[in-house]
């Protein structure tokens, strides 16, 4: 039986278990859209390709299966590159399909033509073009395998428009085979010896290729060995923050007590992450290339092992496969480190207690206290980049896996599309997006997508009238010389209503709880604008105090 290229793409997606895709349509892939018309794949039509790609990233992040996004050539793909970059840096499985110029017009710089195999090489793990419709099953199944194996990441497949209309015979698509990466027996024995000899061990969790079972498994391991466990920047959902082994967040603005413990540790087990620039406090936490600590680095891709930090024991394994193998390690007879671990957890609890004072009528600390007391453990929190995110990362105590979608790559604008994706994936769970006034406006148009598909997320827009993070750095480096960081914003609550959602404005702390309850009760996508005093730039220091520190 002959099928069109468009039909073969949809069949290959279905064979690989795809239930949803995000897209902004283009005339370059009408044949795929037509095939989707007859399928049960959920198509989320978005407003800008950056947001659409970020939604696919969030699906990949929250499920471990590649998120799928479809966009058109030239401008569609360049918009989508914002999401590709996030998936690349954050090791998220994703497949971006790009409708491409017809084959017989290639290399003439035809309408919106870009040669993506050149342009997107650094943005993706693999960029392929399918120029023969009969090979669609082969390319698509391979794309799934590449996106999920080793260090996961995004794959790009370009689809020449005329190829999608060809009618061909092709083999039936089969699902990809996930590639496991287990530790060897000798490596586990080596790890056991190092643990037995350690005085001050610490574990830092990060990266992807985790699952619910692995998160439960690492918790059991930490309990058996009384080990302190930290979570890498924006990977906090990997460990229950109220567990007695939790030592805190290894990210921007790390608790100095935790940084000291890491520096003074004699055994550092880096599990799943790269300890890149943000979690390593700008590459200062651990010496490069030879750490003072004994380093055990567990990572699913050999090319990362020894790239920045030379490990004493390198284990090429995925976090999930590694944690499964840990069950066989015998625990020491007595928990030698229990007291130290307890001390570190106590330090975390103090560090994550909201401050007493805050300038202005809105105290974000009190708002965080309310959120902590009034949201369920399975609530999903999303955010982009900006100082506002500190309130979430430092004071929200993550309890469960699949409750966080935040770019370790520090990309603004991610929070809202991620919230749309999360709510679509888990309609029964509450989804709260944290955004700054700058951040929200980058992909705020996807609020229309939330309204279109009836996805009642709640977006908190923390409005300080500026690109606050940059203003903070500006005041520190060039005090009093405000340049390029001020913002004049729309009325966010009115904007929410104009979109068909629910809007609230909070100008004093006590207005937050009733506003949140009304947003919940509305059952509509909601924006709650929180008017924050620009002075409240960090939980501990005001803008003025930061301006006064130059040269000190």
Ligand X SMILES: Cc1ncc(C[n+]2csc(CCOP(=O)(O)OP(=O)(O)O)c2C)c(N)n1
7, 72, 79, 464: residue in contact with ligand X (rule CB under 6 A): 464
Query: Based on the number of CB atoms within 10 Å of its own CB, is 36 exposed (0-12), middle (13-18) or buried (19 or more)?
Result: buried
- 6 forms part of the interface with ligand X (CB under 6 A): no
- 36 forms part of the interface with ligand X (CB under 6 A): no
> In the complex, what is the shortest distance from the CB of residue 469 to ligand X, in angstroms, rounded to a whole number?
4
- 259 forms part of the interface with ligand X (CB under 6 A): no
Query: Given the rule CB under 6 A, which of 187-195, 332-340, 356-364, 409-417 is the region that contacts ligand X?
Result: 409-417
User: And the tokens for 500?
Assistant: 């068909």
Q: Which does 493 bind (CB under 5 to 8 A by kind): ligand X, Mg ion, none?
A: none
Looking at residue 529, what DSSP letter applies? E
> In the complex, what is the shortest distance from the CB of residue 151 to ligand X, in angstroms, rounded to a whole number?
23
Whole-number Å distance between alpha carbons of 349 and 502: 35
Non-local (6+) Cβ contacts of 343 within 8 A are none
Q: Based on CB atoms, which residue is closest to ligand X, 56 or 435?
A: 435
- Residue 17 in contact with residue 412, Cβ under 8 Å? no
> In the complex, what is the shortest distance from the CB of residue 278 to ligand X, in angstroms, rounded to a whole number?
11
- 531 forms part of the interface with ligand X (CB under 6 A): no
Query: Based on the number of CB atoms within 10 Å of its own CB, is 458 exposed (0-12), middle (13-18) or buried (19 or more)?
Result: buried
Whole-number Å distance between alpha carbons of 425 and 448: 17
Specify the length of the chain in residues: 552
Window 327-386: residues binding ligand X (CB under 6 A): 385-386
> In the complex, what is the shortest distance from the CB of residue 143 to ligand X, in angstroms, rounded to a whole number?
26
Q: Based on CB atoms, which residue is closest to Mg ion, 72 or 464?
A: 464
List the one residue out of 410, 407, 431 whose CA is nearest residue 421: 431
Q: Based on CB atoms, which residue is closest to ligand X, 312 or 533?
A: 533
Residues forming a β-bridge with 534: none
> In the complex, what is the shortest distance from the CB of residue 468 to ligand X, in angstroms, rounded to a whole number?
2
- 251 forms part of the interface with ligand X (CB under 6 A): no
Q: Which does 469 bind (CB under 5 to 8 A by kind): ligand X, Mg ion, none?
A: ligand X
Q: Based on CB atoms, which residue is closest to ligand X, 299 or 391?
A: 391
- 387 forms part of the interface with ligand X (CB under 6 A): yes
- Residue 95 in contact with residue 144, Cβ under 8 Å? yes
Query: Given the rule CB under 6 A, which of 32-40, 363-371, 422-430, 459-467 is the region that contacts ligand X?
Result: 459-467
Helices (H), 166-241: 185-197, 212-225
- 468 forms part of the interface with ligand X (CB under 6 A): yes
Q: Which does 412 bind (CB under 5 to 8 A by kind): Mg ion, ligand X, none?
A: ligand X
Q: Based on CB atoms, which residue is closest to ligand X, 245 or 464?
A: 464
- 530 forms part of the interface with ligand X (CB under 6 A): no
> In the complex, what is the shortest distance from the CB of residue 410 to ligand X, in angstroms, rounded to a whole number?
5
- 419 forms part of the interface with ligand X (CB under 6 A): no
Query: Given the rule CB under 6 A, which of 280-288, 305-313, 332-340, 467-475 is the region that contacts ligand X?
Result: 467-475
The dihedrals phi and psi of 77, each to the nearest 5 degrees, come to -70, -40
65, 90, 187, 437: residue in contact with ligand X (rule CB under 6 A): 437
User: And the tokens for 373?
Assistant: 């007391």
**Total interface residues for ligand X by CB under 6 A:** 19
- Residue 534 in contact with residue 475, Cβ under 8 Å? no
Whole-number Å distance between alpha carbons of 162 and 101: 8
Spell 395-405 as b/e; 16+ CB within 10 A means b.
bbebbebbbbb
Whole-number Å distance between alpha carbons of 29 and 231: 41
**Measured in whole angstroms, how far is the alpha carbon of residue 520 from the centre of its chain?**
25
- Residue 79 in contact with residue 71, Cβ under 8 Å? yes
- 436 forms part of the interface with ligand X (CB under 6 A): yes
Residues forming a β-bridge with 381: 404, 432
- 79 forms part of the interface with ligand X (CB under 6 A): no
> In the complex, what is the shortest distance from the CB of residue 354 to ligand X, in angstroms, rounded to a whole number?
17
Q: Based on CB atoms, which residue is closest to ligand X, 85 or 209?
A: 85
- 57 forms part of the interface with ligand X (CB under 6 A): no
Residues lying near Mg ion in the complex (CB under 5 A) are found at: 436-438, 464, 468
Whole-number Å distance between alpha carbons of 45 and 24: 6
> In the complex, what is the shortest distance from the CB of residue 372 to ligand X, in angstroms, rounded to a whole number?
20
> In the complex, what is the shortest distance from the CB of residue 471 to ligand X, in angstroms, rounded to a whole number?
7
> In the complex, what is the shortest distance from the CB of residue 147 to ligand X, in angstroms, rounded to a whole number?
23
- 414 forms part of the interface with ligand X (CB under 6 A): no
- Angle (nearest 5°) at CA 59 between 58 and 64: 110
Residue nearest to ligand X (CB): 436
- Residue 7 in contact with residue 405, Cβ under 8 Å? no
> In the complex, what is the shortest distance from the CB of residue 33 to ligand X, in angstroms, rounded to a whole number?
29
Whole-number Cα distances in Å, 392 to 398, 432, 544: 10, 11, 23
> In the complex, what is the shortest distance from the CB of residue 529 to ligand X, in angstroms, rounded to a whole number?
12
- 467 forms part of the interface with ligand X (CB under 6 A): yes
List the one residue out of 106, 40, 83, 19 whose CA is nearest residue 446: 83
Query: Given the rule CB under 6 A, which of 116-124, 411-419, 420-428, 515-523 is the region that contacts ligand X?
Result: 411-419
Other Cβ atoms closer than 10 A to 518: 14
Q: Which does 439 bind (CB under 5 to 8 A by kind): Mg ion, ligand X, none?
A: ligand X
Other Cβ atoms closer than 10 A to 361: 14
Other Cβ atoms closer than 10 A to 216: 13
> In the complex, what is the shortest distance from the CB of residue 406 to Mg ion, in angstroms, rounded to a whole number?
17
- 469 forms part of the interface with ligand X (CB under 6 A): yes
- 395 forms part of the interface with ligand X (CB under 6 A): no
- Residue 460 in contact with residue 392, Cβ under 8 Å? no
The residues that touch ligand X, with contacts defined as CB under 6 A, are 385-388, 410-413, 436-439, 462, 464, 466-470
């Amino acid at each position: 039986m002959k099928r069109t290229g468009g039909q073969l793409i949809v069949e290959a997606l279905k064979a690989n278990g795809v239930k949803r895709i995000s897209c902004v349509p283009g005339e370059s892939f009408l044949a795929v859209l037509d095939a989707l018309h007859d399928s049960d794949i959920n198509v989320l039509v978005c407003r800008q390709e950056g947001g659409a790609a970020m939604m696919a990233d969030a699906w990949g992040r929250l499920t471990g299966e590649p998120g799928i996004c479809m966009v058109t050539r030239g401008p569609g793909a360049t918009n989508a590159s914002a999401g590709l970059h996030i998936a690349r840096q954050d090791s998220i499985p994703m497949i971006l399909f790009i409708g491409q110029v017809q084959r017989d017009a290639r290399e003439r710089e035809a309408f919106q033509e870009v040669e993506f195999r050149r342009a997107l090489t650094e943005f993706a793990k693999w960029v392929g073009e399918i120029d023969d419709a009969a090979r669609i099953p082969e390319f698509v199944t391979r794309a799934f395998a590449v996106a999920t194996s080793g260090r996961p990441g995004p794959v790009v497949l370009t689809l020449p428009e005329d190829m999608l209309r060809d009618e061909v015979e092709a083999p039936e698509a089969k699902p990809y085979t996930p590639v496991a990466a287990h530790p060897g027996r000798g490596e586990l024995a080596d790890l056991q010896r190092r643990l037995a000899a350690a005085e001050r061990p610490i574990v830092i969790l990060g990266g992807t290729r985790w699952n619910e079972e692995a998160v439960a498994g690492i918790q059991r391991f930490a309990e058996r060995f009384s080990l302190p466990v930290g979570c890498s920047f924006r990977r906090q959902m990997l460990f229950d923050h109220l567990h007695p082994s939790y030592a805190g967040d290894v990210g921007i603005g790390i608790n100095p007590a935790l940084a000291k413990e890491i520096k003074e540790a004699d055994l550092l087990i880096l599990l799943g992450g790269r300890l890149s620039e943000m979690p390593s406090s700008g590459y200062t936490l651990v010496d490069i290339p030879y750490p003072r600590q004994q380093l055990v680095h567990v990572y699913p891709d050999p090319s990362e092992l020894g790239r920045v930090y030379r490990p004493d024991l390198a284990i090429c394994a995925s976090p999930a496969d590694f944690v499964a193998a840990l069950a066989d390690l015998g625990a020491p007879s007595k928990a030698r480190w229990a007291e130290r671990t307890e001390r570190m957890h106590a330090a975390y609890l103090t560090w994550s207690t909201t401050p007493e004072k805050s300038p202005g009528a809105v105290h974000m600390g009190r708002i965080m206290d309310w959120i902590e007391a009034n949201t369920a453990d399975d609530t999903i929190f999303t955010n982009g980049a900006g100082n506002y995110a500190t309130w979430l990362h430092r004071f929200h105590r993550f309890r469960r896996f699949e409750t966080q979608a935040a770019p370790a790559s520090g990309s603004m604008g991610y929070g809202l599309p991620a919230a749309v994706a999360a709510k679509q994936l888990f309609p029964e769970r509450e989804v709260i997006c944290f955004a700054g006034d700058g951040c929200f406006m980058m992909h705020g148009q996807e609020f229309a997508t939330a309204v279109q598909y009836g996805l009642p997320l709640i977006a908190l827009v923390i409005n300080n009238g500026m690109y606050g993070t940059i203003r903070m750095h500006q005041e520190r480096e060039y005090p009093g010389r405000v340049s390029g960081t001020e913002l004049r914003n729309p009325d966010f609550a009115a904007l929410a209503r104009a979109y068909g959602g629910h809007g609230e404005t909070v100008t004093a702390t006590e207005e937050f709880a009733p506003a949140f309850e009304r947003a919940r009760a509305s059952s509509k996508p909601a924006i709650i604008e929180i008017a924050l005093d620009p002075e409240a730039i960090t939980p501990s220091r005001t803008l003025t105090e930061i301006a006064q520190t130059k040269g000190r």
